[in-house]
Amino acid sequence: MPLPLERDQIQQYSQELEVIIAAHLGWFKKLNAALLCGGQPAGAYLEADAYLRTPFGRWYYTAETHPMADYPGFQCLADIQKSMHDAARRALEWALAGNRPTQELHDAYLDPALRLNTKLRHLQLEIISDLLSTDPLTGCFTRRGMIGRLQSEQERSLRIQRPCCLCLMDFDHFKQVNDRCGHQAGDAVLRQGTKFTQGILRKYDSIFRYGGEEFLICLPSTPLEDAAQVIERIRAGLEALPISTPDSKSMRITASFGLVEMHPRKPVEDSIALADEAMLYAKHRGRNRVELGTPT
């Protein structure tokens, strides 16, 4: 899943990282000036807790769990940064004693400093990737990278011998909503409807904006019978959900669903096509219902 944040929050963290990277390079420049040019380092550079006093330290070591803590690229930063500061302090103490830092002391702070800069850049790219692959209206994944994500779930399903289900969801009579109430009302339907849907789904489930008012839901490690219960909860909940429109009124919306168990070996596109057939059948049978696709 993408970060559990709004799009503007994700953008904010990318901008914060840009500031942190610039501050890190500024720290590195001052350290080299002190070591190579004989400048007097700030006292904070020599303290055991120097790693906490930098802009990075104040940003990373927050009182609460950082929103980016789930990123693998975030978790490894602390050890690199602390080892860098410890090595920098040893090199400075050596230089202040009138000695020229050895190659070993130089490499001990230089290597983690360069590695930290690289890791921060990679983390920023991860966040930008989430930003680019997230639909700005609904917060769902876009189709960018969708097949790759589904193939990963398919491989995992085969590896752990647990089924993975796919469901196509299509909001009923959506064109009529746009035509009669305006596109802002249509946007409200998509935004509020998918927000409700995401609230039903588990953390490791995925929902993609497949196109227009169609959304693809992926339910890993879920047998078809259990998946059908989840999708029925979504269907019934959407039917009862009051949608707040921009003119301060309320409207109701329903959706039709086509649910299949992903084939463990056939292309994921085949399973999507089967879910699409089931969803169209739900439309044909009166809408606002869940239909199960039959494997071929």
| Position 4 pLDDT exceeds 60 | no
Contacting residues for 228 by C-beta, under 8 A, at least 6 apart: 259, 290, 292
Contacting residues for 233 by C-beta, under 8 A, at least 6 apart: 200
For residue 11, give both structure tokens: 């953008």
| pLDDT recorded at residue 168 | 98
| Position 98 pLDDT exceeds 50 | yes
| pLDDT recorded at residue 2 | 44
| pLDDT recorded at residue 251 | 94
| Position 230 pLDDT exceeds 90 | yes
- The predicted-structure confidence for 108-155, as pLDDT tens digits, reads as follows 999 999 999 999 998 888 877 777 788 888 989 888 889 988 999 999
Closest CA to 190 of 122, 241, 129: 241
> Does the annotation count 232 as an active-site position?
no
- Name the active-site residue from 213, 239, 269, 291: 213
Please give the mean pLDDT across all residues of the chain. Answer: 89
Torsion angle defined by CA atoms of residues 167, 171, 175 and 181, in that order, rounded to the nearest 10 degrees: -160
Per-residue pLDDT band for 40 (boundaries 50, 70, 90) equals low
| Position 86 pLDDT exceeds 50 | yes
Predicted TM-score of the model (pTM): 0.67
- The predicted-structure confidence for 139-196, as pLDDT tens digits, reads as follows 898 888 899 889 999 999 999 999 999 999 999 999 999 999 999 999 999 999 999 9
Share of the chain above pLDDT 70, in %: 95
Closest CA to 106 of 94, 118, 120, 119: 94
